[in-house]
Amino acid sequence: MASRILVADDEKDIVELIAFNLAKEGFDVIKAYDGEATLELARSGNPDLLLLDLMLPGIPGLDLCRMLRRDPRTMALPIIMVTARGDEVDRVLGLEMGADDYVTKPFSVRELVARVRAVLRRRMEQKTLPEEIIDGGLLRINLSTCEVSVGDRRVDLSAKELRLLAFLARRPGRVYTRDQILEQVWGDEVYVEPRTVDVHIKRLRARIEENPEKPRLIQTVRGIGYRLADGTPE
């Protein structure tokens, strides 16, 4: 069955351009032109991925992304933001709101299709992971069911956050540079900046740490990168 892509943009010419090229590559495409329609289709249209413009009328893209990430029905939906706002602060804000990737206009259609395929491939890999449990004291990760718990508390993570946490948890105590994390977690994803790692680490800490401002599980090693605490932090 073809993957279904929801394309949301208030510029109909851009929607048609993206839809035409995605359909040519074998994808099933559904379209929305404002925030309300996008929210409804994201919840009821069973998309496998959302291409989301930031400047949607009605519900702006960033607000919409936040709403989708808080809704159990759509919290795992991969989101690629497509926007003319290419400043670093906008890219970082989009990632902090829960986007999986970010494309600025004008964009290469080939690059956009490649990003769609990369995000969908990682989602499929996540779904087909063999049963594996990583148990590290306070932290327990069940990769077969995508369940994470910290102590007695269940934590809901996006697919990218789960992949990042599992990577660090497989070798607790080992320090990884941002480039190493990008290579192992983002793989062949194009145009991903090292700053992306910092954004996702911040989001992950907000979900699993008792006090994200003083993290005990995911530790920063100044000038190098990050590591997961080896054993149960005191």
The total of other beta-carbon atoms located within 10 Å of residue 187's CB is 13
> Which of 127, 146, 172 is the C-terminal boundary of a domain?
127
- With residues binned 3-state (H G I as helix, E B as strand, rest as coil), the percentages for the chain, rounded to 5, are 40, 20, 40
Q: Do 86 and 44 belong to one domain?
A: yes
pTM above 0.75, yes or no: no
How many whole angstroms from its chain centre is CA 86?
A: 18
Give a yes or no: residue 68 inside a domain: yes
> Which of 127, 144, 163 is the C-terminal boundary of a domain?
127
Domain of 93, in residue numbers: 4-127
Closest C-alpha among 120, 92, 96 to residue 192: 92
> Which of 75, 107, 127 is the C-terminal boundary of a domain?
127
In CATH, what number is assigned to the domain containing residue 206? 1.10.10.10
Q: Do 141 and 197 belong to one domain?
A: yes
Q: How many independent structural domains does the chain possess?
A: 2
Q: Do 123 and 138 belong to one domain?
A: no
pLDDT digits (tens), the chain, 234 positions = 689 999 999 999 999 999 999 999 999 999 999 999 999 999 999 999 999 998 899 999 889 988 898 887 888 899 998 887 656 666 666 676 778 888 888 888 888 999 899 888 877 765 554 557 888 778 888 887 888 999 889 999 888 899 899 999 988 888 888 888 888 888 766 566 778 899 999 999 999 999 999 999 999 988 888 999 875 444
Give a yes or no: residue 27 inside a domain: yes
